[in-house]
């Protein structure tokens, strides 16, 4: 069995001359819950669609369960549950008809579990998809993906439209799934608190690049923000690598650095700041820092 | 066991769980030899990744605060930590330095800080002096 | 595969009903015309004369069906949804084409059977070379299939009108060509080549677009 259920190699995608993905490299190991974060139009949906073969890449490769994405066979797809963004499904079908279609086309189907989900979410079988609220479509979409007992779940903004209770139900379902052998989940979300609860690895897409790709528990240790006061004006160049953000105003500098380590600490110390405070960062703070365009600004005196 | 995950915190989730278990033990809400929920149970209950919980449990075990018995589960350890005294003192003094820094920034004077410290010690019933 | 075909049929039931009705009308016309003529008419000429209405039905109905299948897919993002299931794009396209063929057969098969029955009933004085009906049916099928493929080819765009009109125009060019050339082998070969070319192009387009 492959160790990595999802592999992306140097993925590049251009849309109408605009670069949306600029050389993405990603490996998601089996058993992992991977949270993919990024602002709107950062390329999360594009990347997920390329993974599933719905969109061709401009350059580079993507692999799901060892198979190249543009050549996914029905058999491989049968092991993957997919929730596409927007929860469109097939608008003019009735829920019951759509369910039957999925059931008939799926390679395996857990009727009992599906019935349990339908009940839990109170989904009406005889209404048209277009008449359901987006939250209910999200719940239906998720139920259809889970009913096939998937080895790999790929979810694009699965909780869009869901209320708080439904979102918690989704998280619980995700945890239930992951506790079974060899299951993997990749999901993109805007709700950082949800991601922080359930993900073990996290990726942040910004500017077409994967600016962060690490274990969640390491993230807060790796990205550090400092407020530094220098005896005279702050130095223009600290000779530090991987600066995410830097703002200078007179003697004060606020700097955010990735992959903080002892060498960087030593480097910083050589500039002898008179005062150095670490500013605590929540996941939201980290996300905002990482998705700002990289700036090194110097305010006038 | 009730846990709150603070998403605005700068501490990773596993660290928050460790903190809260330690707090519960110190407050007497969890007593010696009491069985903790399994990783699976807690993951399901809180909707938190089981690896996060496992990591918290592993670290607690390393610090000697809990013991895991294969096949049975995790239990609150006796309060005799297996870390050496010097290591324990070091850990606590680092924490105290953090508090001192906070107090400095919060402009809490020495007297007030000591008063606050005393009431915290009261609250958690620290023994006055431990026999070696 | 069966599920996919069933889905296509259910979504385009109107065309099947239309095909059945058209066939029924044509059979009635054919039977009544043949039985009411005294003396029995010159069958080959008459048969060609009746084929014109069939061709008209085919010219309008079949490209429209092809266009409709592709257009509704694009519009309602049906293949996009199906691609999330254990189904390949090739399977979707094959099911679509099979559905088209079934619709064609609903029109042609009863007509062919009726024609054969009538020929057997009215033989001997009528000079029909053996296999005329078979020949006509095969050619009719190829014409119908070619029209349908045209619909499929042009339907995979975002507008509804352009492909239908385009298909109709092209079919109108095709028909005089057939009438000029007759039912011989030449026309069959041209049609088969056309069908292959348009299916290959459709398959290429369908496989490579973003869903």
Do C50 and C29 form a contact (C-beta atoms < 8 A)?
A: yes
pLDDT top residue among C190 and B81: C190
Closest C-chain CA to A101: C3
| Rounded average pLDDT over B23-44 | 86
Strands A243-249 and A295-299: parallel
Q: Which of residues 269-288 of A touch B (CB under 8 A)?
A: 277, 280-285
Instruction: Give pLDDT tens digits for B1-15.
Output: 778 888 888 888 999
Q: Do C85 and A75 touch (CB under 8 A)?
A: no
ipTM of the complex: 0.86
Instruction: Give pLDDT tens digits for C21-46.
Output: 888 888 887 777 777 665 555 555 66
Chain C CB within 8 Å of residue A252 CB: no
Cβ count within 10 A of residue B123: 10
Chain B CB within 8 Å of residue A182 CB: no
Instruction: Name the β-bridge partners of A28.
Output: A6
Nearest to A96 by CA among A142, A134, A144: A144
pLDDT for C137 equals 83
Tokens 């070319």 correspond to C197
pLDDT for A108 equals 94
pLDDT for A294 equals 66
> CA of A146 to nearest chain B CA: how many angstroms apart?
17
Q: Do A101 and C3 touch (CB under 8 A)?
A: yes
Strands A224-229 and A275-279: antiparallel
Closest A-chain CA to B105: A277
pLDDT for C43 equals 54
Q: Do C84 and A52 touch (CB under 8 A)?
A: yes
pLDDT for A293 equals 76
pLDDT for C133 equals 76
Structural domain boundaries in chain B: 13-76, 85-123
Instruction: Give span(s): CATH 3.40.50.300, chain A.
Output: 4-218
pLDDT top residue among C61 and A134: A134
Which residues of B fall within a CB distance of 8 Å from A178?
49-50
Which residues span the domain enclosing C169?
A: 2-208
Chain C CB within 8 Å of residue A71 CB: no
Of B21-35, C11-25, C47-61, C121-135, the least confident? C121-135
- Cα gap C99→C101, rounded to integer Å: 5
In this complex, does chain A touch chain B, defined as having at least 3 beta-carbon pairs under 8 Å apart?
Answer: yes
Nearest to C210 by CA among A55, B40, B121, B27: A55
Which residues of C fall within a CB distance of 8 Å from A107?
86
Find the helix or strand (DSSP H, E) in which A99 lies.
Answer: helix A95-105
Which residues of A fall within a CB distance of 8 Å from B51?
200
Mean pLDDT score of chain B: 84
pLDDT for A189 equals 93
Number of domains chain C contains: 1
Q: Do C77 and A90 touch (CB under 8 A)?
A: yes
Chain A CB within 8 Å of residue C85 CB: yes
Burial C8-34 (b: 16+ CB within 10 A, else e): bbebbeebbebbeebbeebbeebeeeb
Work out the percent of chain B whose per-residue pLDDT is above 90: 25
Per CATH, the number for A4-218 is 3.40.50.300
Instruction: Give pLDDT tens digits for C76-134.
Output: 999 999 999 999 999 999 999 999 999 999 988 888 888 788 777 766 555 566 677 77
Instruction: Give pLDDT tens digits for A205-246.
Output: 998 999 889 998 888 888 899 999 998 888 888 888 888 888
Q: Which of A183, A202, A225, A282 to mutate to test the interface with B (most CBs of B within 10 A)?
A: A282
CATH architecture of the region B13-76: Orthogonal Bundle (1.10)
Q: Which residues of chain A fall below pLDDT 70?
A: 1-2, 294-301
pLDDT for C47 equals 60
Whether the model clears a pTM of 0.95, i.e. scores above it, the answer is: no
| Rounded average pLDDT over C151-159 | 77
Residue of A54, A75, A91 lying closest to C86 (CB–CB): A75
Tell how many helices (H) and how many strands (E) occur in chain C: 8, 0
Residues in Cβ contact with B116 at an 8 Å cutoff, skipping those fewer than 6 apart: B108
Instruction: Name the β-bridge partners of A153.
Output: A81, A185
Instruction: Count how many Cα atoms sit within 13 Å of the Cα of residue B55 in the half-sphere of its side chain.
Output: 16
Q: Cα C13 from chain centroid? A: 15
Q: Which of residues 3-42 of C touch A (CB under 8 A)?
A: 3-4, 7
pLDDT for B108 equals 87
Q: Do C88 and A52 touch (CB under 8 A)?
A: no
- Cα gap A139→A136, rounded to integer Å: 5
């Amino acid at each position: 069995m492959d160790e990595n259920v999802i592999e992306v190699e140097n993925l590049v995608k251009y849309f109408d001359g605009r670069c949306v993905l600029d050389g993405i490299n990603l490996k998601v190991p089996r058993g992992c819950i991977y949270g993919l974060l990024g602002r709107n139009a950062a390329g999360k949906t594009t990347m997920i669609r390329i993974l599933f073969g719905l969109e061709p890449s401009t350059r580079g490769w993507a692999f799901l369960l060892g198979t190249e994405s543009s050549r996914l066979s029905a058999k491989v797809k049968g092991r993957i549950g997919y929730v596409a963004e927007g929860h469109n499904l097939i608008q003019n079908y009735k829920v019951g008809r759509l369910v039957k279609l999925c059931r008939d086309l799926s390679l395996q189907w857990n009727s009992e579990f599906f019935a349990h989900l339908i009940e839990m979410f109170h989904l009406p079988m005889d209404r048209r998809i277009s008449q359901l609220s987006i939250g209910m479509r999200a719940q239906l979409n998720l139920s259809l993906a889970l009913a096939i007992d998937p080895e790999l779940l790929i979810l694009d903004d699965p909780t869009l439209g869901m209320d708080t209770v439904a979102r918690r139900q989704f998280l619980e379902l995700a945890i239930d799934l992951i506790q079974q052998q060899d299951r993997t989940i990749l999901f993109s979300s805007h709700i950082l608190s949800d991601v922080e609860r359930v993900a073990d690895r996290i990726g942040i897409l910004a500017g077409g690049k994967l600016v962060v790709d690490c274990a969640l528990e390491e993230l807060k240790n790796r990205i550090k923000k400092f407020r530094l006061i220098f005896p005279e004006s702050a130095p223009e160049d600290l000779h530090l690598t991987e600066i995410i953000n830097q703002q200078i105003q007179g003697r004060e500098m606020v700097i955010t650095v990735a992959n903080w380590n002892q060498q960087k600490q030593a480097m910083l110390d050589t500039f002898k700041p008179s005062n150095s405070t670490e500013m605590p960062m929540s996941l939201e703070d980290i996300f905002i820092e990482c998705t700002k365009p990289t700036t090194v600004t110097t305010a006038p005196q | 066991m009730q846990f709150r995950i603070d998403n605005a915190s700068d501490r990773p989730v596993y660290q928050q769980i460790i903190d809260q278990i330690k707090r519960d033990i110190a407050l007497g809400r969890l007593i010696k030899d009491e069985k903790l929920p399994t990783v699976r149970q807690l993951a399901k209950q809180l909707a938190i990744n089981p690896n996060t919980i496992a990591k918290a449990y592993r670290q607690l075990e390393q610090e000697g605060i809990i013991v895991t018995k294969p096949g049975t589960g995790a239990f609150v350890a006796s309060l005799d930590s297996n870390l050496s005294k010097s290591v324990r003192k070091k850990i606590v003094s680092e924490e105290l330095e953090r508090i001192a820094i906070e107090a400095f920034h919060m402009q809490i004077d020495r007297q007030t800080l000591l008063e606050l410290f005393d009431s915290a010690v009261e609250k958690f019933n620290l023994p006055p002096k431990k026999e070696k | 595969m069966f599920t996919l075909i069933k889905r296509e049929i259910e979504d385009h039931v109107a065309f099947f009903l239309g095909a059945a009705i058209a066939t029924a009308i044509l059979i009635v016309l054919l039977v009544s015309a043949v039985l009411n003529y005294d003396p029995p008419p010159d069958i080959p000429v008459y048969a060609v004369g009746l084929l014109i209405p069939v061709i008209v039905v085919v010219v309008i109905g079949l490209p429209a069906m092809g266009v409709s299948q592709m257009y509704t897919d694009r519009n309602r993002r049906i293949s996009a949804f199906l691609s999330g299931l254990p189904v390949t794009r090739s399977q979707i396209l094959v099911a679509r084409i099979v559905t088209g063929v079934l619709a064609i057969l609903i029109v042609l098969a009863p007509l062919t059977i009726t024609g054969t029955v009538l020929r057997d009933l009215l033989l001997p004085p009528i000079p029909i070379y053996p296999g005329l009906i078979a020949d006509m049916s095969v050619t009719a099928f190829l014409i119908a299939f070619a029209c349908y493929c045209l619909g499929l080819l042009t339907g995979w765009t975002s507008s509804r009108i352009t492909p239908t009109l385009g298909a109709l125009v092209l079919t109108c060019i095709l028909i005089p060509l057939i009438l000029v050339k007759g039912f011989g082998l030449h026309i069959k070969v041209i049609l088969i080549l056309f069908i292959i070319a348009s299916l290959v192009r459709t398959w290429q387009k369908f496989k490579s677009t973003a869903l």
